[in-house]
Amino acid sequence: MADIYDFYRKGKQNMNTKSLQTLEYNKIIDQLTAYASSEAARTQLKKLMPMTDIAEINKALDETNDALSRIYAKGCVSFSGIKEIRSSLKRLEVGSSLSISELLQISSVLSCARHVKNYYEQVEDSLSDMFSALEEASPLNSQIKRCIISEDEISDDASPSLRDIRRQKAAANDRIHTELNRMLNSAGTRTCLQDFVITTRSGRYCLPVKAEYKSQVPGMVHDQSSTGATLFIEPAAIVKLNNDIRELELKEQAEIEVILATLSAAAAEYTDVLLTDFTVLTELDFIFAKGQLSRQLHCSRPVMNNEHRINIKKGRHPLIDQSKVVPIDIYLGAAFNLLIITGPNTGGKTVSLKTVGLLTLMAQSGLNIPAMDHSDIAVFNNIFADIGDEQSIEQSLSTFSSHMTKTVNILSEADKDSLILFDEIGAGTDPTEGAALAIAILNDLHKRGVTTMATTHYSEIKIYALTTEGVENACCEFDIISLRPTYRLLIGVPGKSNAFAISKKLGLPSYIIDDAKTRMDSEDIQFEDLLTDLERSRVTIEKEREELNAYKKEVSDLKAALTKKSEHLNERTDKIIRKANEEAAAILRDAKEYADETIKTMNKHGMTVKELEHQRSAIRDKMNKKQEKLRIETNKPKAHKAHSISEFKTGMNVRIISMNVIGSVVSVHPAKNEVSVQMGALTTKTKSSNLEILEGYKEPAAPSSASKTAGSTGKIKMSKASYVSPEINLLGKTVDEAIAILDKYLDDAYISKLPQVRVVHGKGTGALRNGVTSYLRGVPYVKAFRLGQIGEGDAGVTIVDFK
């Protein structure tokens, strides 16, 4: 049962071990092992090997991914309580008693099972059955914890007999100390002692007596000092008490053996539970170690397939510093199964090979890979990697011979379910022959349908990839401006070695480089020039594509925002119109009903002027209440064109911009570019730039000394001043008084065709201002009103504009 998960963990035993070492798979295992808490899990992790059954791989990946999800949700639970108890369980099966430390280890496993089971919320995933399989065995765990305090101490509560024995032992110890203290304090004994302390020898209490006073202290000598000057004597008076303590110690030990036997018998009833808990906890420790590695490397679950299809998105080599590694996109196995990577040295070709190989090994081992989501990884029965210079002096093998020996072995073992990685294939010998051999080897593998990646500097292999179906070129990007590699892998574009450019940057004289160029074949030169043109065109197209994608995204975002805003405005407009129509209909209905009722009343009964005025006020109040929720936005001063000083004439009506007040020109001062303006009873001087001429506005005629009067008692009398001030002062008035005065003033001002007036009501408690505001909402010929701004009287003034 302890090995129920080993069937997939050990993986395929004939996976090429040399390739595992070449791809540094062991370093991944070392990192993984560091995250395990128990020795059992670490042992299993060290045995972890790539699997070849896709169902087993997906099962392991699901477990790793579910562990990662739980870690992200609540952190990683501690498995430090897992102890190796399998040997103890076997002893229990044959009826043996366990030691204190073994029982404590069983208790630790049970406590760990309880903690792990209760740590995460109940969720349905691939780990749910494992968590459910954990059993706490609380009675056994509680019994062990009650009886055993530590590896060196059994609790007094373990049994009544043990408590009684220890009580007797403590009493005997007290009697011994009492007797020895009496002897220490005795004048006759003190002179005989080397030191005034109580000590023990061989578990018996003694006194340190000077050798010359041996006869003065009767008792048994148990030891002496190294110099012989001190004898450790057990006084005769406490020999029996020491014997009693020794007997009690033997009884105590016997009782402890009984307690341990009882606990062992209780544990024997739970051997199946304990074995299950240990196995499941070890497995969970194993799985959560993989989850923690995934979190550390920012990994994601790959999508496995049996179609030899690889599509790694933004893959990162896990052994390179994650802050420095450049993500690469690699795909093969769909349109082509042979990828030729070219480019300058130190440009990332070998890292690309190792990234593909190592990520494939990780995925087949049930580990998430450091790449984007939905990356595709194929399942291979074997992976072969010929990477690095492995010349052997002992075996008389050169670099070429070493590589060729490995190539021969690879060709004999590889099949269509293999992945082959060649680094600098055909190197180490004559370039012409090496290139020919490399092409022949790659062509053989291509025809056999073996998924292969190879790096090279040979132009012949680049041409082979360009002219052969199912074979694709790729290159590690090189910045020809800075002459530095970018480490990006570009599939579909053959790369240049850039030997001349790099040599020139490193200081090689130009005449040597020019001489080297003349020694190249014209076809080679044309091919390299073609590659250069292709690279430049690719960079240009890539930049244009990025700009186009950015524009598309911007247009899409703007379109989405505009659509959302339009929908919001339409919805809001419909709501406002619907509400306004409902309110308007209600107001008109109420007004009509009230007007009809008033007309009926007037026709039925003769009414005096005072009664009519009362009815008029009542109607106005009712309309004000109906329109209480309406709001009129304040008007802000509009932009105006500047006027020259010559345009201002005496008597002309103007607006003072800073105060937003209307007045008339009293006098003009061209020398100072200033104009004197009268506003009611006030006169101010201001710059011409601060004035706006009111077109079509004429000053009313001067007020007459008499007013027209008409009528007699019982008739309405009307009088209208021929001159109306643009300002009215309501300070000191009650709300009712102020409204009556304001009502008449506004009628006069409107009839006099004043475009704007100022109503001075002061700040105070705000009652008068609120009353004026409520009244103005119901005046039909008022276009808008607002509180004064700074320079106009602030909140103590209301500016009223007429229609």
Q: If you average pLDDT over residues 93-112, what whole number do you get?
A: 93
Task: State the pTM of this model.
Answer: 0.61
Q: What is the pLDDT of residue 621?
A: 66
Nearest partner of 114 among 281, 268, 2, 263, judged by Cα: 281
Mean pLDDT, residues 100-117: 94
pLDDT for the residue 332: 93
Angle at 458 between CA 456 and CA 459, to 5 degrees: 125
Task: Using pLDDT thresholds of 50, 70 and 90, give the confidence band for residue 744.
Answer: confident
66-80, 486-500, 677-691: lowest mean pLDDT where? Answer: 486-500
Cβ-Cβ contacts under 8 Å for 290 (sequence gap 6 or more): 32, 35, 63, 64, 67, 366, 367, 368
Among residues 5, 44, 57, the alpha carbon closest in space to that of 368 is found at: 57
Helix 609-626 / helix 522-604 crossing angle, nearest 10 deg: 150
pLDDT, tens digit (0-9, with 9 covering 90-100), for 199-242: 888 888 889 999 888 888 888 888 888 888 899 988 888 888 88
Q: Does 346 score more than 70 pLDDT?
A: no
Alpha carbon of residue 560 to chain centroid:
26
Counting Cβ atoms within 10 Å, is residue 95 exposed (0-12), middle (13-18) or buried (19+)? exposed
Confidence of residue 302 (pLDDT cuts 50, 70, 90): very high
Which residues have a Cβ under 8 Å from the Cβ of 338 and sit 6 or more positions away?
332, 442, 445, 446, 451, 452, 453, 454, 465, 468, 470, 471, 472
CA distance 181 to 235: 12
Residue 713 DSSP class: T
Q: Answer whether residue 614 shows pLDDT above 80.
A: no
For residues 340 and 361, give the distance between their C-alpha atoms in angstroms, rounded to a whole number: 21
Lowest mean pLDDT among 252-261, 447-456, 616-625, 769-778: 616-625
pLDDT at 718 exceeding the cut of 50:
no
Question: Is the predicted pLDDT of residue 301 greater than 70, yes or no?
Answer: yes
> Ranked by mean pLDDT, which of 27-31, 552-556, 673-677 comes out on top?
27-31
Regarding predicted confidence, which is higher, 696 or 181?
181
* Start-to-end CA span in the chain (Å): 95
SS3 654: strand
Given a cut of 70, whether residue 30 has pLDDT beyond it is: yes
Among 179-188, 376-385, 479-488, the range with the most confident prediction by mean pLDDT is 376-385
Residue 641 confidence (pLDDT): 67
pLDDT in tens, 39-81: 999 999 999 999 999 999 999 999 999 999 999 998 889 999 9
Give the pLDDT confidence score for residue 195 in this predicted structure: 85
Amino acid 680: pLDDT:
67
Residue 127: predicted pLDDT? 92
Q: What is the pLDDT of residue 710?
A: 36
Q: Which residues contact 708 (CB under 8 A, 6 or more apart)?
A: 719, 720
